[in-house]
Amino acid sequence: MTIAVYGKRIDAEFAEATRNLFAALEKYRVNVLIYLPLLDYIKSNLSYTPHIGGTFITTQDLKETDVMISLGGDGTFLDSIALVQDMGIPIMGINLGRLGFLATTSIPEIDNSIDLLMASKYSIEKRSMLQLVSDTKLFDPFPYALNDMVIRNSVAGLLHVNTYINGDYLSTYWADGLIIATPTGSTAYSLSVGGPILTPNLSAFVLSAIAPHHLTVRPLVIPDDSLIELEVSGRDEELIVSLDSRNIRVPQPVKLMLKKAHFNANVICLKGTTFYRTIRSKLLWGMDKRN
């Protein structure tokens, strides 16, 4: 079995947790690949050299990989999706960040999580993704997002977004920005602007305006087989388009099209972990002395 470990920088406070992870993997004698920049960082800053079978940098280096472990927060998990792309490699997230909706395994659970992983005591959740289509091929070669696509002005200001669903005019958003989120992304930026929480298995997208200038504008849930077309303009020369944690500046006006990607992200859900348990613990639902 080959397991790839992806991450960026590891703070010194997580040095022991990092050692525990590699020790747990070594116990099972699996072939471990580590992201080369992460290995260099661990050697230089944590004074530790894990026992590994090799390194990787690009997607092509992951051809023989069975599982990827994302070591960090949700942002790191999203970056790992861009590495795995459409290869179908399941990803398990170990949370060294803050909230951790995607990276659900906490530091005290590392040993037990590796035991469950090696015993195949997990399910794989197939999470739908967004694809961004544009004439200028923005974000090529990977114009996909697990969480969301966000458009906003490069400087604070109002955007004008004509929006069409399957060619049918929906509305013109006058707002600071617009979020199109997957069910996975419904607990991210979309939630912070008042969007609904969707369970990961729903076949839907959410359109949520950022600070809309009409009081009647509310988040909208649509089927994920919809084709979304946006005509975006504003006062600034550029706007910012984001796919998950990746941002680029785009001259405006611009036309964008979004649709469901032809592949899913495979997220490992260990035994005993459920979406409802996650939102209950991360969002502190039911934190009431009467419960």
Q: What is the pLDDT along the chain (291 residues), one digit of tens a residue?
A: 999 999 988 888 888 999 999 999 999 999 999 999 999 999 988 888 888 999 999 999 999 999 999 999 999 999 999 999 999 999 999 998 777 788 888 889 999 999 999 999 999 999 999 999 988 889 999 999 999 999 998 777 789 999 999 999 999 999 999 999 999 999 999 999 999 999 999 999 999 999 999 889 999 999 999 999 999 998 888 999 999 989 999 998 999 999 999 999 999 999 988 888 888 888 887 777 776
pLDDT at 274: 86
pLDDT at 288: 73
Burial class (CB in 10 A: 0-12, 13-18, 19+), 289: exposed
User: 184: closest CA among 158, 202, 169, 162?
Assistant: 202
Residues 61 and 121 both lie in one domain? yes
The answer to whether the CB of 176 falls within 8 A of the CB of 153 is yes
Which parts of the chain fold into alpha helices (H)? 15-27, 36-45, 74-84, 110-118, 189-192, 275-282
Residues 84 and 52 both lie in one domain? yes
Q: Tell me how far apart the 2 most distant CA atoms of the chain are, in Å.
A: 59
pLDDT at 208: 97
pTM of the model: 0.91
pLDDT at 55: 96
Which parts of 148-223 fold into alpha helices (H)? 189-192
pLDDT at 97: 74
Distances (CA, A) of 47 to 9, 40, 198, 290: 13, 10, 43, 48
Give the β-pairing of 67-72 and 246-251: unpaired
pLDDT at 181: 98
Residues 102 and 138 both lie in one domain? no
Residues 251 and 273 both lie in one domain? no
Residues 174 and 197 both lie in one domain? yes
pLDDT at 6: 97
**74 part of the active site:** yes
Residue 291 in any domain: the answer is no
Could you say which of 11, 40, 66, 74 is catalytic? 74
Residues 144 and 255 both lie in one domain? yes
Provide CB contacts within 8 A for 168, sequence distance 6+: none
Provide CB contacts within 8 A for 66, sequence distance 6+: 1, 2, 3, 89
Q: How far apart are CA 126 and CA 246, in angstroms?
A: 22
Provide CB contacts within 8 A for 26, sequence distance 6+: 32, 51
Output phi, psi for 11, to 5 deg.
-65, 150
* CATH code, domain with 10: 3.40.50.10330
Residues 109 and 202 both lie in one domain? no
Residues 14 and 77 both lie in one domain? yes
pLDDT at 234: 87
Residue 287 in any domain: the answer is no
Residues 117 and 142 both lie in one domain? no
Residues 117 and 229 both lie in one domain? no
What are the tokens at 270?
């260990």
pLDDT at 237: 86
Strand arrangement, sheet containing 91-95: 54-56, 31-35, 2-7, 67-72, 91-95, 265-270, 122-127
8-state DSSP, 167:
T
Domain count across the chain: 2
pLDDT at 240: 94
Domain residues for the domain of 240 are 130-260
